[in-house]
Amino acid sequence: MQHIPKTPELSFQAYQRVFAQHIRNPSANAMPSDVPIKRMAIYTEIVYNNIEGVVAACFPVTKSILGAKKWQSLVRSFMANYQASSPIFREIPKQFLDYLESAPIELPLFLTKLMHYEWVELALSVMEVTDELAAPEDVLRSPIMLNPGHFLLQYDFPVHKISINYQPKKSENITTYLLVYRDASYQVQFMELNPITFQLVTLIKNSAFSGEQVLRKLAADNPQIATEIVLQFGAQTLEALSEKGVIVGVKIAQ
């Protein structure tokens, strides 16, 4: 989806278009006429290296799993076919992921999920959180919420364990719940959740109730577990999440 100008293209624009198209895909698109090959190669190299460097920094596991050749072909394909719309450098990796999610390219089934998981770390490290965050006055009795600097994630396989040595096959169906959050010192932390804790965190995410109200709702949703047990273990979990800064108090507007 190339930008088509309404007015006829001027000669310098036509030249620039050929110049840029060659950089995007040097093997398919000719260089501008009468331009030295060696000089043009500087541009194809620096543009590729710059974009590759930014995406490689975000997706180290993905790159290692794919191997140099496949990885390079994906970055090349992104450059050749994607019209990046954000001038912000740190938004290049997400655009690369968006491209791969819809591109007609055969990829391992887990790949874009893994990439999303890797991207979450970048997204959280730069996320703007404007709310003033403070620990809840009383995690059970005062209204609580999740620290906005978080991602609550659910995958069909243990995405956080993927490496060269562990690459899930299609048949695996291990639902995996992960909470990724930014702590008070801006470090991104990862936490695997069991199903009931995932339910608990989801309830907090979608409400502004007190901890006790949330736990009573959790108990009602899980009649197979005795209410007393949900309340007791839930209270401990809420305390622990509050200590880590995952749960914060809801600021009442003055």
Any contact of residue 246 with other proteins (CB under 8 A)? Answer: no
Any contact of residue 226 with other proteins (CB under 8 A)? Answer: no
Which parts of 130-159 interact with other proteins (CB under 8 A)? 149
Determine contact, residues 95/84, Cβ cutoff 8 Å.
Answer: yes
CB of residue 28 to other proteins, shortest distance in Å: 15
Any contact of residue 204 with other proteins (CB under 8 A)? Answer: no
Q: Which is nearer to other proteins, 103 or 127 (by Cβ)?
A: 127
Q: Which stretch binds other proteins (CB under 8 A): 40-48, 105-113, 165-173, 200-208?
A: 40-48
Which parts of 56-85 interact with other proteins (CB under 8 A)? 79, 82-85
3-state secondary structure the chain: CCCCCCCCCCHHHHHHHHHHHHHHCCCCCCCCCCCCHHHHHHHHHHHHHHHHHHHHHHCHHHHHHHCHHHHHHHHHHHHHHCCCCCCCHHHHHHHHHHHHHHCCCCCCCCHHHHHHHHHHHHHHHHCCCCCCCCCCCCCCCCEEEECCCEEEEEECCCHHHCECCECCCCCCCCCEEEEEEECCCCCEEEEEECHHHHHHHHHHHCCCCEHHHHHHHHHHHCCCCCHHHHHHHHHHHHHHHHHCCCEEECCCCC
Q: Give the x/- contact pattern for other proteins in 156-195, rule: CB under 8 A.
A: --------------------------x---x---------
Q: Which is nearer to other proteins, 38 or 69 (by Cβ)?
A: 38
Any contact of residue 17 with other proteins (CB under 8 A)? Answer: yes
Interacting residue with other proteins among 65, 74, 92, 179 (CB under 8 A)? 92
Any contact of residue 36 with other proteins (CB under 8 A)? Answer: yes
Q: Which stretch binds other proteins (CB under 8 A): 37-45, 161-169, 222-230, 237-245?
A: 37-45
Any contact of residue 8 with other proteins (CB under 8 A)? Answer: no
